[in-house]
Amino acid sequence: MLLQHRYTHIPKAGNETLKLTTWDAFGYYMYLPSVVIYDDYKELNWLPQKEEQYHLTGGGLYQAGKAKNGNYVYKYLGGVALLESPFFVVAHRLAPYLGYSQDGFSAPYQYAIAIAALFYAFLGIFVLRRVLKEYFDDGIVAITILLLCLATNFIQYVAVDAAMSHVYIFPLYSLVLYTTMRWHQRPSAFIAAATGYIIGLATICRPTEAVMLFIPLLWNTYNKDIAKAKWRMVKANRPHVVAAIVGGVAGILPQLIYWHSASGQWIYDVGSAWDFLTPHLQVLVGWEKGWLIYTPVTIFFIAGLFYLKKYPLRNSVLWFCILNIYIIIAWRDWHYGGSYSTRALVQSYPVFAFALAAFVQHIRTSSWRWLFYIAGCYLIGLNLFQLEQYAKTIIHYRDMNRLYYGAVYLDTDPTPLDMSLLDNDEVLHNESGYNTTVLAQADEETPVKLVEGEKGIICKKTLHTDNAQDTWIKAKCSVKVKDGFWEGYLNIQLQKGDSVKTARARLANPISRNQQWNSYELHMHVPDYFSDGTVTVFLNRDISTFDADIRNAEIILLTE
């Protein structure tokens, strides 16, 4: 399924090519071309030409900033680039033989990163299965991995957004679980050093992954006697603690060397902001992209935390999950950019897998097991369907809300009225029982050319309605935008004196296309106060000029 999803999301038409190393992903990746190819990671003189050719930054170089010494310093840490580097080197060697430029961004490099993501995903799954089998039988492990991979946003960050950090850190969690388990079974300095190195490497992928440290610290502490035995074993193997520290330092050392070389400082503040006193619960349950809303199988992850009592990893998994979630929801930019569900939790799914497995173990022995199997199949189907919606931006990468999500939920053919709910929170779903009055109608094609601040008036009428009636305005039209598609809106405005009520719907929505005819529909409820007010329906653009043609415009008053 991961391979199939990767294949189906490779552009196959026209001049489109696979582009993974853009936006945030470019920030993680840019270490490789700047060091290996251009030998310029301080001034970035190579970047303007590559930006013009490949459009890497997303419109502005937020991926790096100037240090006090005048050099550029990368905002994103270099651990992901280290993990990508073997695949980068292979692509760099093969590029000229395949007829591509050795510039770090041509097709071989993009496919190399896609392959790297799949490699690390399968590595993580393989190691995770090995660890889970120590505590659960094959059936439980199979169900757990199936749900984790196919019913969550994991597949998006393996098979589509493959240059983001999540899939590269994912196997590090599996590996640290494995080395932690092995050290507690048979202590060795090598395993301790490996554990430290993995944690260090994860930390220079994303600094918040340092919370991984609690996995080995709290392993085998699920009761007092076991905890005492664990710490006696640690004291008896003090050199192993030193080995773990040395391994951790080795893991973070490349980042420290880079910071010192670029900025003159061993530790450099990349500018993250946190709200630890006012964490953002929307990350978990918000309609924007809540983890429990858009990938509801994760409710089983949380439920499973209550069934870990009999496992030696209970405290390790429980406290890691609590602390990790707290850190994730405390980040100030809680939207985490454009994403499907909460992407910042994807890399730590191997730890959550133990809670999920414990839940599956419990439910398999209960009378609810068949309902659980049905729910599991439904959640896999729902997730795969929503991933396709996300690929078409029907599930929007940033602007989701409750009404809109309800309108497009499992909908294969959303309507223009559904699209209006991205911006508008009023809709009349059932017009039966309402009387209609046409306020304006124009079937012929009409040009609309505006400068900044102007309105392209479609209709302007004074209302004369009864306060006792439930009243709505419905605007419908077809628009072909020549200039201003991305910032253009269809608007309804009610005004009475100084009081104004406005509804708007963006012209650039998931089912519309630039420079083509698109249908739009927008509703507005008329409060009693505006029953004798003025209604204006118009097109506008928030910035700059606007040029479009409009036809089949119809403005209708609906009264109950």
The model's pLDDT over 376-393, given as tens digits with 9 standing for 90+, comes to 999 999 999 999 999 999
By the 10 Å C-beta count (0-12 exposed, 13-18 middle, 19+ buried), 236 is classed as exposed
pLDDT tens digits for range 170-205: 999 999 999 999 999 999 999 999 999 999 999 999
Question: Given the structure tokens 């499907």, which residue do they identify?
Answer: 340
Report pLDDT for 15: 65
Tokens standing for residue 287: 């309609």
Which pTM does this prediction carry? 0.95
Report pLDDT for 460: 94
Report pLDDT for 7: 78
pLDDT tens digits for range 34-86: 999 999 999 999 999 999 999 999 989 999 999 999 999 999 999 999 999 99
Report pLDDT for 11: 73
Percent of the chain topping pLDDT 70: 99
3-state SS track over 87-108: HHHHHHHHHHHHCCCCCCCCHH
Q: CA end-to-end span of the chain, whole Å?
A: 51
- H or E element, residue 64: strand 64-66
pLDDT tens digits for range 270-304: 988 999 999 999 999 999 999 999 999 999 999 99
pLDDT band for 431, please (50, 70, 90 cuts): very high
Task: Give 331's strand partners.
Answer: 274
Residue 12 has pLDDT above 70, yes or no: no
- The pairs formed by 275-283 with CB atoms below 8 angstroms and a separation of 24 or more are 275/330, 275/331, 275/332, 276/326, 276/330, 279/326, 279/329, 279/330, 280/329, 280/330, 280/331, 280/334, 281/329, 282/334, 283/328, 283/329, 283/334, 283/336, 283/342, 283/344
Q: What single-letter amino acid sits at 483?
A: D
Tokens standing for residue 384: 């795969």
pLDDT band for 9, please (50, 70, 90 cuts): confident
Q: Which residues neighbour 507 within 8 Å (Cβ) at sequence distance 6 or greater?
A: 479, 481, 484, 485, 488, 489, 490, 518, 520, 539
Q: What is the mean pLDDT of residues 410-418?
A: 97
Report pLDDT for 553: 96
Tokens standing for residue 232: 């006696």
- H or E element, residue 79: helix 79-94
Report pLDDT for 71: 98
Residue 1 has pLDDT above 80, yes or no: no
pLDDT band for 17, please (50, 70, 90 cuts): confident
pLDDT band for 13, please (50, 70, 90 cuts): low
Enumerate domains of the chain plus CATH numbers: 2-389 (no CATH), 417-559 (2.60.120)
Question: Given the structure tokens 């606007």, which residue do they identify?
Answer: 546
Chain centre distance of CA 203: 20
Q: Which residues neighbour 284 within 8 Å (Cβ) at sequence distance 6 or greater?
A: 290, 291, 292, 325, 329, 342
Report pLDDT for 14: 58
Least confident of 8-22, 92-106, 115-129, 327-341: 8-22
pLDDT tens digits for range 238-269: 999 999 999 999 999 999 999 999 999 999 99
Tokens standing for residue 116: 């790297």
Alpha-carbon dihedral angle through residues 148, 151, 153, 154, given to the nearest 10 degrees:
30
**Which of the 8 DSSP states describes residue 529?**
G
Contact 106, 56 (CB under 8 A): no
pLDDT tens digits for range 482-496: 999 999 999 999 999
Mean of per-residue pLDDT scores for the chain: 96
Report pLDDT for 8: 81
pLDDT tens digits for range 312-363: 899 999 999 999 999 999 999 999 999 999 999 999 999 999 999 999 999 9
pLDDT top residue among 17 and 546? 546
Report pLDDT for 532: 92
Tokens standing for residue 261: 């070389």
C-alpha angle 447-452-457 in degrees, rounded to nearest 5: 40
Strands (DSSP E) along 405-528, which ranges? 435-442, 446-450, 456-462, 471-483, 488-496, 499-506, 517-526
Residue 445 has pLDDT above 60, yes or no: yes
Helix-then-strand count for the chain, H and E: 21, 11
pLDDT tens digits for range 521-559: 999 999 999 999 999 999 999 888 999 999 999 999 999
Percent of the chain topping pLDDT 90: 94
